[in-house]
């Protein structure tokens, strides 16, 4: 079609042909996806398991490149399919509007001309001689639905009717021409570079392509995504879609489907792997420290997703909003009987440190849990903006409650999604909070009836959780477990009241001063920054033994490593094994240490 189309051309557009072409691109997309899946899940695993050396490494590199090429083909072909289907959907809407106008003209015995003008017959009575008023031709261009003119101006009653029909015809033609123009621009952009490689610049273009298709197809797909529904309702929505509809959503909205609580884990993983590449392409085209930092984190996640590690990784969330989002599960949380979700704390963001340290903590927990229960999965949940300080623990002023409250609400939504999608009748769920993450877990327990489905809570390296008693966390005090290293300064921080009393200057001076003030001010007192010390007798949780950790001040200088080794089976065997036992549903086997 062109901008000067006739109503006959619009009427005769065969939208089924557009949809047939879309189906063809869909089949190409699915074939590429199947090829990528075979490389990632079969060929690479077999090669890594049977071959070693430089030749094997080179073969792995080539297979990974081929997998990325297939992924690009899958993405672009999927965008083409949705573009054509969306175009057909919109054109059909204008065909219906046109046909209704033509039907009305036929019923009135009006003539609709190729240019959209409408000829109407004589009718009515003249004001002077009572003769019928002559017919005429109405030209479209006004606004349909206006009140008809008065009899004094145009006594022929057919005038208003003809004008309305003409306006409706012209509106349908103009809208169809606009649809044609918009989608033509998109289709012209959906072209791949020549060659067998898919460089980062191509993924940058792919991210732009996806955004363009999303904007064009908003009415076709996006409005139906149940953003405001419960996780259970979202699960039912996804289950009710046809396979073709699911494929289109995954192709055009991987960012939304991949981060929607209530969507099955395997679907979220597939969507987020695609969105990961689009995010890498998007950030490649940006400048600034934030883009550079997040890009490094995304690349490391991508590397780990393809390195064949066990248990298998599931990417349940990814995004660049705020300080970045990343949710990674080791093991399938939908099929596992035991699922733990670990919330990291202060200074955590989507960067290389997160992808190497925090992902390792979740994987260590998964490996330890599998030693006690074969049906297990462990998750690291960076689904909120943890407080950031430029110099580690230099300033405590950032450690307010607001981010914990917002994070707690998001964490509850995620856990509700796990409950909705888990295949087991009564799965065992564990929430683990480290550092400020323990405050976030504490906030989650105080919202909407507690954390959905959670049976046990583990708090390590905690500056307090916002409540003063373990029984206030909603799972029973015997199901709240605490690990606090002797030399972990975060578990020794003075309360806000104490710092306000006279330690503010020392706290701002740095972690050493904070530790000293806390040690002096907290004698005989068990209050921390966010309330009662979870390791105290007054709090009433079950404290498990942990390694003391390196001293704050030692022969090598200042170290806060005691705050970060709770999950490491080599550096703190007792703590890591206790966390694994709890996550595996064997908390009765956890040894108890005396309170502070």
pLDDT digits (tens, 9 = 90+) for 423-479: 999 999 999 999 999 999 999 999 988 999 999 999 999 999 999 999 999 999 999
Give the sign of the dihedral formed by CA 263, CA 268, CA 274, CA 278.
positive
Query: Which range among 5-14, 127-136, 189-198 shows the weakest confidence by mean pLDDT?
Result: 189-198
How many angstroms separate the CA atoms of 15 and 84, rounded?
A: 9
pLDDT of 513 reads 46
pLDDT number for residue 220: 75
Residue 499 has what DSSP assignment?
Answer: I
Q: What is the DSSP string of 365-394?
A: HHHHHHHH-SSEEEEEEE-S-----TTTTS
Is 483 within 8 Å of 578 (Cβ atoms)?
yes
Cβ atoms of 283 and 244 closer than 8 Å:
no
CA distance 307 to 292: 23
SS3 415: helix
pLDDT bucket at 341, cuts 50 / 70 / 90: very high
275 Cβ neighbours under 8 A, 6+ residues apart: 254, 255, 258, 318
Closest C-alpha to 175, from 116, 262, 224: 116
Alpha-carbon distance of 143 to 457, in angstroms, equals 63
Please spell the DSSP secondary structure of 531-572, one letter per residue: EE-TTSTTT--EEPP----S-SEETTEE--GGGS-TT-TTT-
pLDDT single digits (tens) 224-282: 899 999 999 999 999 999 998 898 889 888 999 999 999 999 999 999 999 999 899 88
Least confident stretch, 39-53, 97-111, 477-491: 39-53
Which residues lie closer than 8 Å to 259 by C-beta, 6 or more apart? Answer: 268, 272, 317, 318, 319, 325
| Average pLDDT estimate for 307-327 | 93
Cis? peptide before 311, omega within 30° of 0: yes
Residues 480 and 459: their CA atoms lie apart, in Å, by 8
Out of 30-44, 103-117, 382-396, 542-556, give the one with best mean pLDDT.
103-117
Residue 587 and residue 505: Cα distance in Å, rounded? 42
Please report, for residues 23, 221, 255, the alpha-carbon distance to residue 245 in angstroms, rounded to integers and kept in the order given.
11, 9, 16
473's tokens: 């966390």
Residue with tokens 């943890």: 386
Give pLDDT, residue 183: 87
Rounded Cα distance between 98 and 171, Å, is: 9
SS (HEC) of 128-176: CCCCCECCEEECCCCCCCCCCCCCCCCCCCHHHHHHHHHHHHHHHHHHH
- Contact assessment for residue 52 and residue 40, using Cβ atoms and an 8 Å cutoff: no
Among the ranges given (139-143, 155-159, 577-581), the one the predictor scored with the smallest mean pLDDT: 139-143
Lowest mean pLDDT among 153-157, 394-398, 471-475: 394-398
Lowest-confidence region among 164-168, 517-521, 543-547: 517-521
Q: How many CA atoms lie within 13 A of 421 on its CB side?
A: 29
Name the nearest CA neighbour of 177 among 52, 339, 1. Answer: 1
Give the per-residue pLDDT at 204.
76
Interatomic CA distance for residues 230 and 246, integer angstroms = 19
The Cα 553–Cα 538 span in angstroms is 29
Work out the number of other CB atoms within 10 angstroms of the CB of residue 360. 14
Strands laid side by side in the 428-434 sheet: 313-319, 325-330, 376-382, 338-343, 428-434, 454-460, 480-483, 542-543
């Amino acid at each position: 079609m062109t901008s000067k189309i006739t109503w006959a051309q619009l009427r005769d557009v065969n939208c089924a042909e557009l949809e047939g072409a879309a189906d063809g691109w869909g089949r190409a997309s699915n074939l590429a996806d199947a090829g990528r899946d075979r490389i990632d899940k079969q060929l690479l695993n077999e090669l890594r398991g049977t071959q070693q050396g430089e030749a094997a490494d080179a073969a792995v590199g080539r297979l990974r490149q081929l997998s990325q090429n297939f992924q690009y083909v899958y993405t672009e072909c999927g965008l083409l399919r949705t573009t054509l289907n969306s175009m057909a959907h919109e054109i059909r809407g204008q065909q219906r509007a046109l046909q209704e106008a033509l039907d009305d003209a036929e019923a009135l015995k009006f003539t609709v001309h190729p240019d959209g003008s409408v000829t109407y017959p004589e009718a009515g009575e003249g004001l002077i001689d009572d003769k019928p008023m002559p017919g005429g031709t109405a030209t479209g261009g006004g606004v349909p639905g206006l009140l008809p003119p008065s009899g004094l101006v145009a006594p022929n009653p057919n005038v208003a009717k003809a004008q309305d029909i003409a306006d409706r015809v012209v509106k349908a033609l103009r809208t169809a021409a606009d649809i044609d123009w918009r989608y033509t621009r998109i289709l012209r952009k959906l072209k791949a570079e020549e060659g067998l490689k898919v460089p980062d610049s191509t993924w940058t273009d792919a991210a732009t392509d996806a955004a363009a298709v999303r904007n064009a197809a908003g009415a076709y797909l996006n409005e139906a995504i149940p953003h405001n529904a419960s996780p259970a309702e979202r699960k039912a929505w996804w289950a009710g879609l046809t396979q073709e509809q699911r494929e289109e959503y995954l192709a055009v909205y991987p960012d939304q489907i991949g981060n929607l609580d209530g969507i099955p884990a395997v679907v979220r993983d597939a969507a987020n792997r695609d969105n990961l590449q689009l995010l890498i392409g998007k950030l490649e085209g940006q400048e600034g420290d934030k883009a550079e930092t997040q890009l490094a984190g995304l690349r490391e996640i991508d590397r780990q997703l393809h390195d064949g590690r066990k248990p298998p990784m599931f990417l349940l969330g990814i995004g660049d909003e705020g300080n970045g989002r990343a949710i990674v599960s080791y093991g399938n949380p939908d099929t596992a009987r035991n699922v733990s979700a670990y919330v990291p704390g202060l200074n955590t963001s989507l960067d290389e440190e997160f992808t190497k340290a925090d992902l390792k903590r979740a994987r260590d927990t998964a490996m330890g849990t599998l030693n006690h229960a074969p049906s297990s999965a462990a998750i690291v949940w960076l689904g909120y903006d943890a407080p950031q300080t430029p110099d580690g623990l230099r300033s405590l002023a950032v450690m307010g409650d607001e981010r914990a409250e917002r994070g707690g609400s998001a964490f509850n939504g995620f856990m509700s999604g796990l409950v909705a999608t888990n295949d087991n009748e009564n799965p065992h769920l564990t929430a683990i909070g480290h550092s400020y993450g323990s405050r976030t877990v504490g906030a989650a327990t105080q919202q909407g009836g507690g954390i959905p489905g959670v049976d046990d809570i583990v708090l390590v390296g905690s500056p307090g959780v916002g409540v003063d008693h373990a029984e206030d966390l909603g799972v029973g005090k015997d199901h709240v477990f605490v690990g606090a290293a002797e030399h972990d300064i975060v578990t020794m921080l003075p309360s806000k009241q104490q710092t306000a009393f006279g330690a503010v200057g020392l706290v701002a001076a740095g972690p050493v001063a904070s530790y000293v003030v806390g040690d002096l001010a907290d004698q005989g007192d068990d209050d921390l920054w966010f309330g009662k010390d979870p390791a105290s007798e007054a709090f009433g949780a079950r404290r498990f033994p942990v390694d003391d950790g390196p001293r704050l001040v030692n022969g090598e200088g200042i170290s806060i490593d005691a705050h970060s080794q709770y999950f490491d089976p080599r550096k703190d065997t007792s703590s890591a094994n206790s966390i694994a036992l709890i996550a595996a549903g064997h908390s009765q086997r956890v040894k108890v240490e005396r309170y502070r």
